[in-house]
Chains A and B, each alone.
Chain A
Amino acid sequence: MKCVVTGSNVKVLGKAVHSLSRLGDELYLEPLDDGLTLRTVNSSRSAYACFLFAPLFFQQYQPATPGQDLLRCKILMKSFLSIFRSLAMLEKTVEKCCISLNDRSSCLVVQLHCKYGVRKTHNLSFQDCESLQAVFNPASCPHVLRAPARILGEAVLPFPPALAEVTLGIGRGRRVILRSYQEEEADSTTKAMMTEMSIGEEDFQQLQAPEGVAITFCLKEFRGLLSFAESANLPLSIHFGAPGRPAIFTIEDSVLDGHFVLATLLELDAHSQDLSSSEPHRPVPQLQDHSTLHQDNFASDDIDSYMIAMETTVGSEGSRALPSVSLTPGPQHHCGPGPESEEEDEAEPSPVPGTPPPKKFRSLFFGSILAPIHSPQGPSPVLAEDSDGEG
């Protein structure tokens, strides 16, 4: 694989890496015939992000050397990010960026051609090729919002940086409301501040959602995509359904598109409060852990909504599992597994950085919310934010 990015597109690429770095610790780089994909998934697998850069984005794009298979690679996000760390520097000094991947050197080579003829070459070691694939379909989401990224960016600006989750909903008069989300058990004295922003319908290019719907998702990842979309001056679309189902955030351009799939909280008590909920939210059985996630198990597995699952596909060596993340609409008539399976998965050791992701994975959604119903261990057995110890 070899591709060459020039001019201002280097910064666009750098921005994309910055926004991916808000989610995951590893970057999956996969050249395809229709473009280069950069993907990542967070450690709790509740968020997935993908950027596809079309061949036209590049000055030169060659997905594979003739006669060779397409190569994929997984690298540490930190090391890739460090190349693009300073966006100001990318803009000011970098004229050209070449990324190449080949079998022989067994490293990903990123070369930056800078001003004054200075050349930076980074040889990054990568790990076994694995494909990270999410299966999701924005078209299956009943609700869609689309607005210029700037509108949404300004709306999330006042929220405190430490705030974990934000609720997005349609309030009275079809105003779009963003509100800081607070756990009910939260100590009212420490989380005394509630921020709410309301945006008029006229600011939206598309607003296809009834009054009263609301979803809650992680703000950090959302901010990551927003900052990218803002710098690229693109509109952002939010596709969502009932609480508990993943929300799909998309941006599209002629030469690139970006998809962020974020888990949403399952509202247990329909406490959308004065978002004027017109119908009570039926608690939707949410995503569960799956110990065996072979594709053929999907039908019989206890999935009641979309799920992000590790899918086992056959690798080139036949036996190697290629982990992938899929968000598939599941059959609606099954009920969730009992607490035992949850507990069992809680005890799963965190993946060691550098090992291929395990076939099993933990709760997709925020454990702190799931905990009261599904886990006998009390609140917060799984924290989506706690990614330190995990690969």
Chain B
Amino acid sequence: MPLLTQRIQDESDQYCLVASLDNVRNFSTILKAIHFQDHATCFVTKNGVKVTVENAKCVQANAFIKAGVFQEFLVREEPIIFRINLTVLLDCLSIFGSNPMPGTLTALRMCYQGYGHPLMLFLEEGGVVTVCKINTQEPKETLDFDFCNTNVTSKIILLSEGLREAFSELDMTSEILQITISPDTPYFRLSTFGNAGSSHLDYPKDCDLMEAFHCNQTQVNRYKISLLKPSTKALVLSCKVSIRTDDRGFLSLQYMIKNEDGHVNFVDYYCCPDEDIPQAES
């Protein structure tokens, strides 16, 4: 063992990123929340890791894992950007099983030498070490949704349990999910228009589920249900969700996810509205 530690320490000088973690699940859980495409772009700065997944140039999901989540987090140059196969990365992170036996933790040491090098993962559980090398790819430009606070027209903070069931029961025969946010009834409404008919789900403004409700002007926007459905992965892990729309109808869903250590992490989903808005039937 000392030999291995020695070697790792020697090598750590050549890495531009070294991060270690006692419990790999604190990292993998957050990644699972955005795992709806195979490939992801990773940005690493001294503050932490941001992993971005996009689909159809219309939806973007970002997972932020703060540096504090890691026990050791060394970044020698900033920023580090690479693209990686997220499915493979998650498979490697759960190489000892995704549901570990109680009391056993898988530790992770993650190293990256820089552009063109593979991402090295050292996973250890009960004295068994697995080394994974995942090839990194040329980073691709990610979308800038230009979603800034000043243009936000409505903002809702909900306890996730109130939305969980709604998302799991979404009528997938409907092509779109229509979100209505208004200062008067129905306040916050999710509507689908499927083969069997339409469904509306109304949340009152003042209820225990609703932590905050800000809206000055009625806004009705439609989003492709197939683009929003993957956010259910983040929703089921989260405890609170912030729903914001801006003046262009862009949607921001921000999920607060608490990991096993009590650290708070955030996962963002941005989604473009559906262009053609037929006259709403409601």
Q: Does the CB pair B207–A117 fall under 8 Å?
A: yes
Q: Which of B103-111, B197-205, B237-245 contacts A (4 or more CB under 8 A)?
A: B197-205
Q: What are 7 of the A-B contact pairs (CB < 8 Å)?
A: A85-B169, A93-B165, A118-B207, A119-B202, A122-B199, A123-B198, A125-B197
Which chain A residues border B201 with CB–CB below 8 Å? 118-121
Q: Does the CB pair A124–B204 fall under 8 Å?
A: no
The list of the 3 closest CB pairs from A to B, nearest first, reads A79-B196, A117-B204, A116-B207
* B208 close to chain A: CB less than 8 A: yes
Minimum C-beta distance from B154 to chain A (A) = 18
Q: Are A118 and B196 CB-contacts (below 8 A) given A82-B169, A85-B169, A86-B165? A: no
Task: Kindly report which residue of chain B lies nearest to residue A75, judged by CB atoms.
Answer: B196
Assembled-state Cα–Cα distance A198/B201 (Å): 49
Which chain B residues border A93 with CB–CB below 8 Å? 165
From A89, A107, A116, B162 is in contact (CB under 8 Å) with: A116
Minimum C-beta distance from B188 to chain A (A) = 10
Minimum C-beta distance from B172 to chain A (A) = 10
Q: Does the CB pair A122–B197 fall under 8 Å?
A: yes
Minimum C-beta distance from B121 to chain A (A) = 39
- Residue ranges of B at the interface with A (Cβ–Cβ < 8 Å): 162, 165, 169, 171, 194-204, 207-209
Which chain B residues border A294 with CB–CB below 8 Å? none
Which chain B residues border A107 with CB–CB below 8 Å? 197
Q: Does the CB pair B197–A79 fall under 8 Å?
A: yes
Minimum C-beta distance from A391 to chain B (A) = 15
From A75, A78, A108, A121, B200 is in contact (CB under 8 Å) with: A121
Q: Are A124 and B197 CB-contacts (below 8 A) given A116-B162, A118-B203? A: yes
Q: Does the CB pair B208–A123 fall under 8 Å?
A: no
* A247 close to chain B: CB less than 8 A: no
Minimum C-beta distance from A346 to chain B (A) = 31
* A76 close to chain B: CB less than 8 A: yes
Q: Interface of chain B, helix or strand or loop or mixed?
A: mixed
Q: Are A89 and B196 CB-contacts (below 8 A) given A118-B207, A118-B209? A: no
Assembled-state Cα–Cα distance A85/B200 (Å): 16
Provide the A66-85 mask, 1 if CB < 8 A to any CB of B, else 0.
00000000011011001001
From A85, A121, A125, B196 is in contact (CB under 8 Å) with: A125
Which chain A residues border B169 with CB–CB below 8 Å? 82, 85-86
Assembled-state Cα–Cα distance A85/B207 (Å): 25
Q: Does the CB pair A89–B165 fall under 8 Å?
A: yes
Which chain B residues border A121 with CB–CB below 8 Å? 199-202
- 5 new A-B contacts, CB < 8 A, other than A79-B195, A82-B169, are A79-B197, A82-B171, A82-B196, A122-B197, A123-B199
Assembled-state Cα–Cα distance A116/B202 (Å): 11
Which chain A residues border B202 with CB–CB below 8 Å? 118-121
Which chain A residues border B195 with CB–CB below 8 Å? 79
Provide the A115-159 mask, 1 if CB < 8 A to any CB of B, else 0.
011111111110000000000000000000000000000000000
Task: Kindly report which residue of chain A lies nearest to residue B203, judged by CB atoms.
Answer: A118
Minimum C-beta distance from B195 to chain A (A) = 8
Contacting residues of chain A (36-79) with chain B, CB-CB under 8 angstroms: 75-76, 78-79
Q: Does the CB pair B162–A118 fall under 8 Å?
A: yes
Assembled-state Cα–Cα distance A117/B201 (Å): 11
Assembled-state Cα–Cα distance A81/B197 (Å): 13
Which chain A residues border B162 with CB–CB below 8 Å? 116, 118
Which chain A residues border B209 with CB–CB below 8 Å? 116, 118
Assembled-state Cα–Cα distance A134/B151 (Å): 62
Which chain B residues border A89 with CB–CB below 8 Å? 165
Assembled-state Cα–Cα distance A121/B162 (Å): 16
Assembled-state Cα–Cα distance A107/B208 (Å): 32
Assembled-state Cα–Cα distance A110/B96 (Å): 47
Which chain A residues border B199 with CB–CB below 8 Å? 120-123
Which chain B residues border A124 with CB–CB below 8 Å? 196-197
Assembled-state Cα–Cα distance A78/B201 (Å): 19
Assembled-state Cα–Cα distance A123/B208 (Å): 27
Minimum C-beta distance from A218 to chain B (A) = 27
Which chain A residues border B208 with CB–CB below 8 Å? 116
Minimum C-beta distance from A25 to chain B (A) = 12
Assembled-state Cα–Cα distance A125/B171 (Å): 14
Contacting residues of chain A (221-278) with chain B, CB-CB under 8 angstroms: none
From B200, B204, B207, A120 is in contact (CB under 8 Å) with: B200
From A116, A120, A123, B197 is in contact (CB under 8 Å) with: A123
Which chain A residues border B196 with CB–CB below 8 Å? 75-76, 78-79, 82, 124-125
Assembled-state Cα–Cα distance A119/B201 (Å): 6
Assembled-state Cα–Cα distance A108/B198 (Å): 11
Which chain A residues border B207 with CB–CB below 8 Å? 116-118
Assembled-state Cα–Cα distance A93/B198 (Å): 21
Assembled-state Cα–Cα distance A124/B195 (Å): 9
Interface centre among B171, B196, B198, B201 (most CB of A within 10 A): B196
Assembled-state Cα–Cα distance A107/B199 (Å): 12
Assembled-state Cα–Cα distance A76/B196 (Å): 7
Which chain B residues border A79 with CB–CB below 8 Å? 194-197
Assembled-state Cα–Cα distance A123/B194 (Å): 10
Assembled-state Cα–Cα distance A355/B207 (Å): 44
Minimum C-beta distance from B88 to chain A (A) = 35
Minimum C-beta distance from B211 to chain A (A) = 12
Task: Kindly report which residue of chain B lies nearest to residue A121, judged by CB atoms.
Answer: B200
Task: Kindly report which residue of chain B lies nearest to residue A118, judged by CB atoms.
Answer: B203
Assembled-state Cα–Cα distance A121/B171 (Å): 13
Interface centre among A75, A76, A82 (most CB of B within 10 A): A82
Assembled-state Cα–Cα distance A67/B204 (Å): 35
Minimum C-beta distance from A158 to chain B (A) = 30
